[in-house]
Structure 1
Amino acid sequence: MRHGSRIITAALPVLFLAGHAFSILFAGEHGAKVSFAWLIAAPVLAAAACFYRGWKDGFEGWLAASLAMLCWAGGMTSTMIATLFLDIVREDRLSMLLYVLYGVPLIFALASPSDEKWQVRLVDAALAAALGYLYYVHVGKLISQSRTPAETIGALQLMFDVENLFIALFAIIRFMVRTRERAPFFRAMTAYAVIYLISAGYINHVHALTPYGGWSDLVVVLPFLILAWHAIGAPYRKGLEPAVSAPAWPRIVRAGGPLLIPVTLLAVSVLLVSYDPIIAIGGCVTASLGYGLRTTLVQLRNFEEQDELARLSHFDALTGIANRRRFDEVLASEWARRREGAEPLVLLMVDIDHFKLLNDEFGHAVGDQHLRAVAAALSGCARRDSDLVARYGGEEFAVILSGTDPFDAAVIAERMRASVEALGLPSGVGAGAGVVTISIGIACAHALDTEMARFVSSADAALYEAKRSGRNRVTRKSTAHLRAVDTFSPSTGGRVA
């Protein structure tokens, strides 16, 4: 059934062209009237196909394409009324305006990245609207109220060529750096825009004076049938892989993307210079200001992203506390500051007891939950803004207490040990009635007491001594390089050796 549906979908463009050809062949003197019906039906069919695809997969891009197709169908409808009922030989002002305006939503959809913030896209929409206004002014300057002067045909052809060329280039560029999600839209638009550029150029430059109802009308409907086929047919479901391109190419497109709409606006403004210099200058100013505003908004977004990346680079993704990188930076800063004064600096090295056995028995998911709970308990005990609790690696944590004397440091360490034990996290192994416990080693240094590396090693040595002494305890180790401190024994159940 699905295979049959694909065959029918693939055959629709062929059947449409065949029906149009037979209508021209057998309509006789009514060929123009019949052909107009097909010329209007083709973009309407493309609009419906784009809307259908947007309804199924999201309207980003597809809705703009559908609106563009309806503008073109409206232009052809206006041409039909002017030709058949108003006795206007060539396109009237309204039809020419709609033909040009049809490109505005396409340019917006192709030039404005969907992942930009709404403020940036609003600027893009405003520039696209300004572009549409300049097109309107340009058409008004080139044609009269009811008839296109012969001497302006060349200028109109140039205007259409520029617009169609920009649309085709935008589509090709975006297709070359497509993502998986946007590949169907950019592939469809690339096929449509390239074929439309060729067919429109052929009609405008070769058959500009050919009346409707001839065989050249078949060329007009071809791009719309291709677009409809890509939107609902078999090509949509194939080849959805992202583009494989040089690493620098997507960045170049991303960096140059903001120029697409302003450059188009500048190009149209240049075309207007000889007709209305004031409006042309206004278009150039609008393009410059719009690009400047857009660049400012993008720059603000980049600053926000950089700040967020900087924040994330200093925090552990699992526990939410500072990571090893942040710990190293703060310790180096505090160590350098201690050279200027006599305030003590305390380092606590903390390790979860029997964590490997815990992981083996309960699994890594439970282990991760325990890591988060322990990190929260340790952070709750380090209450000053200057204190830092960091994940040092694996199940090991490090705590920096600046300006804290040895007695207070021991009190804080014991509070941390007791808080973790009080959580009652099941461990199934070790002491503490089968609950998770921690061991803590303390090192304290004054200005110029020792080297920073030996300071950290001293805290590590104290931690390992706590482990060897039975775990679930606080140990402070004194060496020749660190000033000795008195032993502190808290009144709670833990031990400080």
Structure 2
Amino acid sequence: MAAVLAALYIVCHGLALVLVPGHAQAVSFSFLIGAPLLAALACLRRMHRSDARVGWFALVVGMLLWAGGMALNMYQEIGLGTPDATPGASMLFYVLYGVPLTFAMAHPRHEPWYLILIDGALALLLGYMFFVHTFSFATLSDAPEPGLGSLRMMFDIENLFIAVFALVRYLASEDAPRRVFFRALTLYAWLYMAMAFYINHFATDASYGGPSDLLIDLPFLLLAVMALRDDPERGDATPRRLALAVRAGSPLILPAALLVVSAVMVKAHPHLAVVGFALATLGSGLRGVVMQVRAMERQDQLDVLTRVDALTGVANRRAFDQALQAEWSRARRSGQGMALLMVDIDHFKAFNDRFGHPLGDACLRAVATALSGCATRGTDVVARYGGEEFAVVVSGTTRDGALALAETMRLAVERLRLATTDPVGSVGATISIGVAHVALITSVDPGTLLAATDAALYDAKRAGRNRVVEGRLPEPR
């Protein structure tokens, strides 16, 4: 239906030129202003239904700027009665319409506000450069022929820039909403570039109100049709390496645009061109630093996740293995003793079966918190060994110190109360602990300590649970 309405729009435009030749220019201006406004309304509607809101909003702003440029043309030719003049103000609007489109292509998804602020500042600077460049060759009311040549070259560069980068972003888009957006932008940008090139270079003598005006409607109506399509937003398979490369490089689009515009302005405004070069480089560098800091922060978070048990918040099995080996090696070098505690929650399977897994998880977290609260030294490591079993690496301690810590942990857990929906109201938990201490380490493998501690834990459970049992290491030979 949207395509049919777009075709009817062009037919009505053509019929108006034929049926009212005396007012063809005024009627044609109305259609030329209406086409981008329709596209803006369609993009606004799509913006509220898509996750790619920034992109569709940028198209809305771009369409409004272009319609504003055409309205200024209409005012110049009909309101002021100077049909041969090309107002510089309208040229500025036509150039500025590409700034929000460039911002949309440069804007990666899910960016924090401060990166959006940097991109916004670069986009504003780009708009200012366009403003200065436009009025280097034009006035508010007119643009002489030599200046028009330079402005046409600016239009060609801008249109090609948008078309190429829109195509790249489309080919490398992974998520469906952005892929749909960039597909619409790509089709629009290439058709607009072809139309603008023909109008600017081959139909320069044609005035508004002629058949060539129908060509101007086409890209805007195509964009409106693409925005109004109700097909589901689904993505296609995209090579992962290409997607990552484009996602990483997309923030360079705005600095690249600034560099191109600055290069074009070197002769007319050398000082401003130098400022453009410097700020493009500075903005890109600042964004790179911020991105690097974010990447380091994410890496730190990932490092934490690889060492921490997600449920209980204590060290996981991998971190325990590393801590045990590191402390064993340190104690072997220093000659100081160390201890290992293996902790098991008593009758945990029956607890889970009776009260359910949510309360079982709460029990695991409460026990982990209690154990960590007893291991107050920074060198002690409390870890979830697996299931309902925990392990504690105790550095630089004596046999009596290790046994005292184990008893403190047992009592701390015994005092826990967990609220339940059961008629009893609350329930407690107990733990069994196996302890093994080594005073002098002669081997490089902590396996003997681990085996002795595990055997002690087994003895504690066999002896009735809720107790601490000490294990004995074999005497060194």
Asked if Structure 1 and Structure 2 have the same fold, meaning a TM-score greater than 0.5 normalized by the shorter chain, the answer is yes
Cα offset for 1:295?
0.8
Amino acid in the other structure paired with 2:393:
I
Q: How does 1:426-465 map to 2 (within 5 A)?
A: 435-450=428-443, 451-465=445-459
1:242 matched residue in structure 2: 235
Deviation digits for residues 93-144 of structure 1 (CA, Å, limit 9, x no counterpart):
1000000001111111111213222222211111111111111111112224
1:85 matched residue in structure 2: 79
* Residue from 162, 167, 172 that aligns with 1:167: 162
Give, in whole Å, the separation in 2 of the partners of 1:211 and 1:121.
41
* Residue from 48, 61, 64 that aligns with 1:67: 61
Give, in whole Å, the separation in 2 of the partners of 1:357 and 1:233.
57
Give, in whole Å, the separation in 2 of the partners of 1:361 and 1:371.
15
* Residue from 211, 225, 228 that aligns with 1:215: 211
Cα offset for 1:75?
0.4
2:147 matched residue in structure 1: 152
Q: How does 1:16-31 map to 2 (within 5 A)?
A: 16-31=9-24
Amino acid in the other structure paired with 1:436:
A
* Residue from 256, 275, 281 that aligns with 1:263: 256
1:203 matched residue in structure 2: 199
Structure 2 length-normalised TM: 0.92
Give, in whole Å, the separation in 2 of the partners of 1:213 and 1:375.
80
Give, in whole Å, the separation in 2 of the partners of 1:181 and 1:319.
37
Q: 1:482 to 1:420 in 2, by over 3 A?
A: farther
Amino acid in the other structure paired with 1:249:
L
Give the SS at the match of 2:333: coil
Q: 1:304 to 1:285 in 2, by over 3 A?
A: same
Amino acid in the other structure paired with 1:214:
G
- The reply to whether residue 191 of structure 1 matches residue 184 of structure 2 is no
Cα offset for 1:442?
0.7
Runs of 4+ with >6 A deviation: none
How many positions carry a matched residue from both structures? 468
251-260 vs 66-75, greater mean Cα deviation: 251-260
- The reply to whether residue 134 of structure 1 matches residue 107 of structure 2 is no
74-83 vs 12-21, greater mean Cα deviation: 12-21
Q: 1:267 to 1:128 in 2, by over 3 A?
A: same
1:36 matched residue in structure 2: 29
Amino acid in the other structure paired with 2:126:
L
Q: Is the 8 A contact 2:37 2:63 kept in 1?
A: yes
2:274 matched residue in structure 1: 281
2:423 matched residue in structure 1: none
Q: Is the 8 A contact 1:176 1:243 kept in 2?
A: no
Q: 1:43 to 1:208 in 2, by over 3 A?
A: same
Amino acid in the other structure paired with 2:464:
G
Q: How does 1:410-429 map to 2 (within 5 A)?
A: 410-425=403-418
Q: 1:173 to 1:139 in 2, by over 3 A?
A: same
Q: 1:48 to 1:434 in 2, by over 3 A?
A: closer
Cα offset for 1:145?
4.6
Give the SS at the match of 2:364: helix
Q: Is the 8 A contact 2:438 2:473 kept in 1?
A: no
Give the SS at the match of 1:313: helix
Cα offset for 1:354?
2.9
Give the SS at the match of 1:147: coil
Amino acid in the other structure paired with 2:400:
F
Q: Is the 8 A contact 1:340 1:447 kept in 2?
A: no
- The reply to whether residue 272 of structure 1 matches residue 272 of structure 2 is no
Cα offset for 1:210?
1.2
- The reply to whether residue 45 of structure 1 matches residue 41 of structure 2 is no
Deviation digits for residues 239-295 of structure 1 (CA, Å, limit 9, x no counterpart):
x22341212111111221221111111111111122222222221111111111111
* Residue from 217, 220, 231 that aligns with 1:224: 220
Identity of aligned residues (%): 46
Give, in whole Å, the separation in 2 of the partners of 1:265 and 1:447.
69
Give the SS at the match of 1:11: helix
Amino acid in the other structure paired with 1:412:
L
Q: Is the 8 A contact 1:35 1:213 kept in 2?
A: yes
Give, in whole Å, the separation in 1 of the partners of 2:356 and 2:202.
75
Q: Structure 2: which 5+ residue stretches go unaligned? A: 421-425
- The reply to whether residue 116 of structure 1 matches residue 111 of structure 2 is yes
Q: How does 1:366-381 map to 2 (within 5 A)?
A: 366-381=359-374
Give, in whole Å, the separation in 2 of the partners of 1:326 and 1:36.
72
Q: Is the 8 A contact 2:384 2:391 kept in 1?
A: yes
Amino acid in the other structure paired with 1:109:
A
Amino acid in the other structure paired with 2:59:
A
Deviation digits for residues 376-427 of structure 1 (CA, Å, limit 9, x no counterpart):
1211221222221111122211111112222122122122222223224599
- The reply to whether residue 321 of structure 1 matches residue 317 of structure 2 is no
Q: Is the 8 A contact 2:331 2:396 kept in 1?
A: no
Amino acid in the other structure paired with 1:199:
M
* Residue from 337, 357, 367 that aligns with 1:364: 357
287-296 vs 416-425, greater mean Cα deviation: 416-425
Give, in whole Å, the separation in 2 of the partners of 1:374 and 1:14.
71
Give the SS at the match of 2:433: strand
Cα offset for 1:456?
1.5
The Cα RMSD (Å) is 2.2
Give, in whole Å, the separation in 2 of the partners of 1:434 and 1:144.
84
Q: 1:194 to 1:447 in 2, by over 3 A?
A: farther
Q: 1:36 to 1:481 in 2, by over 3 A?
A: farther
Cα offset for 1:186?
2.3
Cα offset for 1:361?
4.1
317-326 vs 140-149, greater mean Cα deviation: 140-149
Amino acid in the other structure paired with 1:81:
Y
66-75 vs 268-277, greater mean Cα deviation: 268-277
Q: 1:214 to 1:462 in 2, by over 3 A?
A: same
Cα offset for 1:19?
1.7
Q: Is the 8 A contact 2:332 2:442 kept in 1?
A: no
Give, in whole Å, the separation in 1 of the partners of 2:99 and 2:284.
17
Amino acid in the other structure paired with 2:15:
F
